[in-house]
Structure 1
Amino acid sequence: MSKVALVTGGTRGIGEAISKGLKAAGYTVAATYHGNTEKAEEFKAATGIHVYKWDVSHPDECVAGIAKVEEELGPVEVLVNNAGITRDGMFHKMSFEHWREVLSTNLDSMFTMTRPVIEGMRSRGAGRVINISSINGQKGQMGQTNYSAAKAGVIGFTKALAQENAFKGITVNAICPGYINTDMVAAMPEKVLESIVSGIPVGRLGHPEEIAATVVYLASDAAAFMTGAVMTINGGQYIANG
């Protein structure tokens, strides 16, 4: 029986590539989504990947959703915390609602999704938690104080959880993608996109499959000695220390 991997925000963009990559590597994949049911059903029909709808910012929905996944597919052995939103704007004009929405989905979800699976991983003596942060959680980004704060928090969460669970055979790592060629990025105005690409030393946007390949590695037995790591995949746009 193949291992079960749960990917939040797993039907679109980077999450879609991660879900497909894990399935190709032999995992039984459950992909969550929140908004677009039509897109999720199309994804399910095209890939055969199981899809589940809930809001990762709501603790009760996460507990119920994860219980359903484990009842139908088996215990979650790989958790990929990928779901995220943006509500961009300059801080001096930002509403608390937009601050709270981003922190709830992007950072609170580290708790709401990981807490229901961590005890099972500990009891089995094995598990993988892979958190998708961002280049902007490392360097900050004008107009994204909410997003940058949340994604920086993901990095701190990763390092602390890794230390708590390493002796239980559980690894916890983070990936910080740069600008990736998803529908969201492709929809940017042409001049803005050109400006972004000009600041990337390799001269292009990243591919979702490049993030997915790193997730597949971190989920594998080959990565058993890697925990607490923060992996930057940004084409050289930002080179982090250590």
Structure 2
Amino acid sequence: MDKTVLVLGSSGGIGYEVCSKLLQSGHTVIAQFHTNEEIVNSLKRYARQSDQIIPLRVNLNDEKDVDRAISNLIQPDAVVQAGGHHDEGLFEEISDEKMEKLWNVHFYQPARILRSVIPGMRQREGASIVFVSSVWGETGASYEVMYSAVKGAQISFVKALGKELAPNRIRVNAVSPGAVETQMTAHYSPEVKRAIEDEIPAGRFGHPYEIADAVIFLLSEQSSYINGHVLSVNGGWYN
């Protein structure tokens, strides 16, 4: 059954792959982005019909902009939160602005959006919510303390909301990637990257499409009895 899926962070490496796979399977995608409109427009190549993709420009750091989007949002059958960014450095040196931005983009504004669409999702068969969290949300990382904190909040949210919505047949899960070849890791030097790869049993970084495959699985009926679960996709790292 074709679904309407809201993908937050559709222009990022993982979000883009999630959107492309959904479109190729015939689903309608509401593709949220902030500044990377060209990337979202390029997703049209995967659509079978022009109305299959609905671009949605929203600044998740602007509450009024989020409110506007909520008031006009098409009711989705499923939601994927794949957006985000990270910040590296000592916790004591992070600014209030950066802390607020991490909180807004990764958790607070997505939670507000979900709160608005859950009542409608109760009427949809096979409704599902998937967060793309992080290995650091499970284990924590020095020099990425606030990033780890908001990713950990996502995981706690998924476990709690999954229990709350299970009687309504709405499943809530998370994918927890390890090191992945995206813009978030593109700044690593070859030496740093090799050092990380040496720690990963699989011996390499993951690819965005591999994370997207896990998201698609959790959205599908193949995972119909999986709820409140965190699926680690990390090549054996930190298992």
Fold shared, TM-score > 0.5 on shorter chain? yes
Aligned amino acid, residue 56 of structure 1: L
Following the alignment from structure 2 to structure 1, what is the Cα–Cα distance between the partners of residues 110 and 56?
A: 18
Offset at residue 69 of structure 1 (A) = 4.4
- Structure 1 spans left out of the alignment, 5+ residues: none
Q: Which runs of 5+ in 2 are unaligned?
A: 48-52
Q: Tell me: CA distance 1:183–1:87, structure 2 relative to 1, closer, same or farther (3 Å).
A: closer
How far residue 185 of structure 1 moved from its aligned partner, in angstroms, is 1.7
CA-to-aligned-CA distance 1:9-61 (integer Å, 9 cap, x gap): 112301101111112222111211112233333x2443343321102344443
Paired with 2:71 and 2:4, the residues of 1 have a C-alpha distance of 13
Alignment of 1:44-59 (within 5 A): 44-48=43-47, 49-59=53-63
TM-score, length of structure 2 as denominator length: 0.90
Q: How many residues of Structure 1 are paired with residues of Structure 2 in the alignment? A: 234
2:181 — aligned with what? Answer: 181
Amino acid at match of 1:55: N
Cross-structure match for 2:66: 62
TM-superposition CA deviations, 1:40-94 (whole Å, max 9, x none): 33x2443343321102344443343255441xxxx30010011112222111222
Q: Equivalent residues in 2 for 1:138-153 (5 A)? A: 138-153=138-153
Aligned residue number for residue 28 of structure 1: 28
Task: State the alpha-carbon separation in 1 of the partners of residues 100 and 183 from structure 2.
Answer: 25
Q: What are the superposed Cα offsets for residues 182-241 of structure 1, whole Å, 9 maximum, x if unpaired?
A: 2332332111111111111101111111111111111112212110001100111111xx
Indicate the residue corresponding to 1:225 in structure 2. Answer: 225
Alignment map for 1:153-232 (pairs within 5 Å): 153-232=153-232
Structure 1 position 145, deviation (Å): 0.8
Amino acid of the residue matched to residue 190 of structure 1?
P
Cα 1:57/1:168, change in 2 over 3 Å: farther
Residue 125 of structure 1: CA displacement? 5.8
| C-alpha distance in 2 between matches for 1:237 and 1:96 | 32
SS in 1 for 2:185: helix
For the aligned residues, what is the CA RMSD?
1.8
Letter of the aligned partner of 2:4 in structure 1?
A: V
Q: How does 1:85-164 map to 2 (within 5 A)?
A: 85-124=85-124, 126-164=126-164
2-structure distance, mates of 1:235, 1:107: 26
Identity over aligned pairs, percent: 32
Which residue identity is paired with 2:24? A
